[in-house]
Amino acid sequence: MSPYVLALLLFSLGLGTTMTFASSHWLLAWIGLEINTLAIIPLMAQNHHPRAVEATTKYFLIQATAAAVLLFAGTTNAWLTGQWEIQQDAHPLPVAIITLALALKLGLAPLHSWVPEVFQGLDLTTGLVLATWQKLAPLALLLQIHPPNSYLLILLGLTSTLIGGWGGLNQTQLRKILAYSSTAQLGWMVLVLQFSPSLTTLAVSVYVTTTAATFLTLKLAKATSINMLAISWAKAPALVALTPLVLLSLAGLPPMTGFMPKWLILQELSKQGLAPTATLAALTALLSLYYYLRITYTMTLTMFPNNLSGTPPWRLRTHKTTLPLACLAITTISLLPLTPAAVALVAL
Amino acid sequence: MDNNSCESSRLKCLFLSWPASPSARLLTSVLPHHQLLLPPLSPLTIPCRTKIQRDYRRPGQPIENKYPLNFNFSKGIEGIKKHFTLMKDEFFGRWVGPEGKPLIEHILEQNLVIWKFRGPESLEQWTVSSDQEIGGQSEAHLKMGRNDNTCFLHGKLSSTIPRDGETRYSGYCNMRSKTPKASFDRKKHYDWSSFNTLHLRVRGDGRPWMINIATETYFSHQKDDIYNYFLYTRGGPYWQEVKIPFSKFFLSHRGRIQDSQHPIWLDKVNTIGFTLGDKADGHFQLEVDFVAVSKDYAHTEEFAYEMYERNPKRERIE
């Protein structure tokens, strides 16, 4: 792709998300979401492979539908309440429709079917952008609306964690596993949204860090399937040693950073008197943990018997850029002791 | 004279009974004419191509008329048993691991035999066709080889062009595997993404065959996209083990090689086929022992064909 076009598209991606963050009018928020969608479409379809084009088409149809429903709900809200402000009190029906539209945009269960197929058709870099940057704008809108009915968000959250865990169990394609993982993590964020939006913000930031670290790891290992990870012990031993920690952080195990949001969310849910919800969420995290452990098992805990052409390369130092991965991996593994500081930061 | 009457009858059909809307045209291609008294107002539902795969229907043959339903108890019970058994296997297979195999197999597998011909029931997974569908005179037959250990495709190629006024070439025979089906006739795909080479054991007659692999597509205009590569058989009494990396397969659409090429994605493969169309009339035979896929770690090529800039801008000379 021409560097000018690439710069334009990346700038548009940033612009779209920033517009949605900064807007207080539903129309402007919708414009930001649409700019985001349109900017990422050429990035997804840039290699012209039929599967990439299929993923792009599916993504476009889903996002356009969600944006149209959002616009419709915003308009209905303006009609019923007489104002377009996002943060003002809104009529409950449009708010419910907006919640569902944003759930479709994010890929929350039960509106998650598009996520694995779309991720499978993309390369890992574009998948990374889709899994991290594209989630920010809809989450920003979700944080600002005040849903009157608490059951919808809890239902979306629990279903997402459940289906995100179950769906990823029998996958061997890594991109599909990460797609289901993204659904599960978003479920956690949405569970606590109405009780403590600052915890959702914290969960989003930790999710972005851990998911980005995972995607960059897979990109460095050039692996798209579980068995491709099996031979990476010979190619990048340090990465193979670090990846289990990154994946266990994504799973939410202490003492990694990923434990922070899960712990605080469970605490908040218990404080709100939702102990069964908290228990169910914690149990569904075990399902996700199973497939993260499976990847860890294949990559690190077993030594593939390749002693032929998968031989160790004569130089282990790679020419690829590893600085972002290094920073993200450190952030993913070691920030748990800073929990009080993080809570104070997001509570502002 | 013959041509004129054909032409006039065709024109008559065109003007008198050609329906207007695309959905009605689709309907008339499916239902016989006398059943269609009035064209429908709205498009009718068509089974989703990506989920359901009907059995191969030769072009020109009428669509199997399911209505009125022929009520056959034994067939019905057989069908119920078959589909529920498949569903049960799928359900319990998930407890074993991905694709019904333990994960350790997925991690360690380097060779996987997909088709091996060890009994007459293995022939039911294959469809044989030739240019008789378009009016040609080639013949192709598939039977079990010696000792029921191989499959034997044989026949006679004839490049006599059918006299229908529009066909210009003829003389081909093809053997194609059927799309794998899950319970209730849902489409299933082969996932060969762990492998990078096609491994065959064949015994041919020295003729050049072509291997066609068809993957799952999304858009309807891609449904005839096939990835091809050549299979040069040696002939003679000795078996030939052929290993073709998947990076060598090139894309063609309805027989025409495409300008814009891309490597084949192996996570949703539908069918594999062998075609003979070497413009040499006469008998042919191909014996296949097995068709397998394997992972060759020494083969690191991603795609064998470079894409060059087509229609480069010419510099203006002033």
For residue B225, list chain A residues with Cβ-Cβ distance below 8 A: 50
Assess contact for A237 and B206: CB atoms under 8 A.
no
| 240-259 in chain A: CB under 8 A from chain B | none
pLDDT at residue B66 greater than cutoff 90: no
DSSP B311: S
Q: Which residues of A touch B263 (CB under 8 A)?
A: 49
**Residue B316, token pair as written in the block:** 């203006």
Q: Answer yes or no: is pLDDT of B318 > 90.
A: no
End-to-end CA distance of chain A: 41
Q: Which of A80-89, A179-188, A250-259, B43-52 has the lowest mean pLDDT?
A: B43-52
pLDDT in tens, A254-269: 899 999 999 999 999 9
Query: Over 80: is that where the pLDDT of A315 sits?
Result: no
Intra-chain end-to-end CA distance of chain B, in Å: 59
Q: What is the mean pLDDT of residues A320-335?
A: 91
pLDDT for B73: 86
If asked whether residues A168 and A100 sit together in one domain, one would say: no
The beta-carbon neighbor of A226 closest among B106, B260, B265 is B106
In this prediction, residues A118-133 reach a mean pLDDT of: 95
Domain end (from A148, A179, A211):
A148
Task: Quote the pLDDT of residue A338.
Answer: 93
- A133 and A262 both lie in a single domain: no
pLDDT value of residue B305:
92
A69 and A159 fall within a common domain: no
A239 and A218: one domain?
Answer: yes
What's residue B3's pLDDT?
Answer: 44
**Full DSSP string of B167-187:** ------EEEEEPPPB-GGGBB
More confident residue, B167 or A214: A214
Looking at the complex, does the CB of residue A225 fall below 8 Å from at least one CB of chain B?
Answer: yes
pLDDT score recorded for residue B48: 65
Same structural domain, A27 and A166: no
Kindly tell me if the per-residue pLDDT of A182 is higher than 60.
Answer: yes
d(CA A42, CA A56): 8
pLDDT of residue A228: 87
Residue B1 has pLDDT above 50, yes or no: no
Q: Do A126 and A183 belong together in one domain?
A: no
Whether residues A231 and B297 touch (CB distance < 8 A) is answered with: yes
Give tens-digit pLDDT for B176-204.
Answer: 999 999 988 899 999 999 999 999 999 99
How would residue A183 be classed by pLDDT, with cut points 50, 70 and 90? very high
Q: Is the pLDDT of residue B23 over 90?
A: no
* pLDDT (0 to 100) of residue B71: 76
The CA distance from B79 to the nearest CA of chain A, in Å, is 28
Contacts of A175 in chain B (CB under 8 A): none
Model pLDDT for residues B106-163, shown as the tens digit of each residue: 888 899 999 989 888 999 999 999 988 888 899 999 999 888 889 999 999 999 998 8
What pLDDT band is residue B12 in, cutting at 50, 70 and 90?
A: very low
Q: Tell me what percent of the residues of chain A surpass a pLDDT of 90.
A: 77
Which whole number is the average pLDDT over A28-47?
95
Dihedral sign for Cα atoms in the order A41, A45, A50, A52: negative
* Mean pLDDT confidence for A277-281: 94
B-chain CB neighbours of A180 within 8 Å are none
Average pLDDT, chain B: 84
In the stretch 147-176 of chain A, residues with CB closer than 8 A to chain B read 169-173
Cα-based distances in Å from B42 to A60, B20, B38, B45: 27, 12, 12, 10
For A174, the closest chain B residue by CA position comes to B193
Q: Per the CB < 8 Å rule, is B262 touching A49?
A: yes
Smallest Cα distance from A54 to chain B, Å: 6
Domain check: are A207 and A330 in the same one?
A: yes
Interface probe with A: pick from B90, B101, B213, B218, most Cβ of A within 10 Å: B218
Q: What is the pTM of this model?
A: 0.87
Please list every residue in chain A whose beta carbon sits closer than 8 Å to the beta carbon of residue B193.
Answer: 172-173, 224-225
Mean pLDDT of B47-66: 69
What pLDDT, on the 0 to 100 scale, is given for residue A148? 65
Which uninterrupted H or E stretch holds B17? helix B2-17
pLDDT at residue number B309 = 78
* CB-facing half-sphere around the CA of B264: CA atoms within 13 A: 32
Q: Given this model, what pLDDT does residue B44 score?
A: 56
> Do A159 and A304 lie in a common domain?
yes
Range of the domain at A210: 153-310+319-347
- In sequence order, the 6+-apart residues with CB closer than 8 A to the CB of A54 are A117, A121, B217, B218, B219
- Rounded Cα–Cα distance for residues B102 and A297 (Å): 14
Q: Are residues A21 and A165 in the same domain?
A: no
**One domain, residues A84 and A161:** no
Residues of A in contact with B262 (CB under 8 A): 47-50
Q: By the 8 A CB rule, do A257 and A332 touch? A: yes
Do A158 and A144 have their domain in common? no
In sequence order, what are the beta bridge partners of B144? B151
A141 and A160, same domain (yes or no): no
Residue that finishes a domain, picked among A116, A133, A148:
A148
- Final residue in a domain of this structure, among A116, A148, A180: A148
Number of domains, chain A: 2
How large is the average pLDDT for residues A25-47?
A: 95
More confident: A188 or A303: A188
Can you give the pLDDT at residue B8?
46
**Chain B residues with CB-CB distance to A under 8 A?**
94, 97-99, 103, 106-109, 191, 193-194, 217-219, 222, 225, 260, 262-263, 265, 267, 297-298
The answer to whether B174 and B255 are in contact (CB under 8 A) is no
3-state helix/strand/coil string of chain A: CCHHHHHHHHHHHHHHHHHHHHCCEHHHHHHHHHHHHHHHHHHHCCCCCHHHHHHHHHHHHHHHHHHHHHHHHHHHHHHHHCCCECCCCCCHHHHHHHHHHHHHHHCCCCCCCHHHHHHHCCCHHHHHHHHCHHHHHHHHHHHHCCCCCHHHHHHHHHHHHHHHHHHCCCCCEHHHHHHHHHHHHHHHHHHCCCCCHHHHHHHHHHHHHHHHHHHHHHHHHCCCEHHHHCCHHHHCHHHHHHHHHHHHHHHCCCCCCCHHHHHHHHHHHHHCCCHHHHHHHHHHHHHHHHHHHHHHHHHHHCCCCCCCCCCCCCCCCCCCCCHHHHHHHHHHHHCHHHHHHHHHHHHC
pLDDT of residue B9: 46
Amino acid B17: pLDDT: 46
More confident residue, A120 or B14: A120
pLDDT for residue B28 is more than 70: no
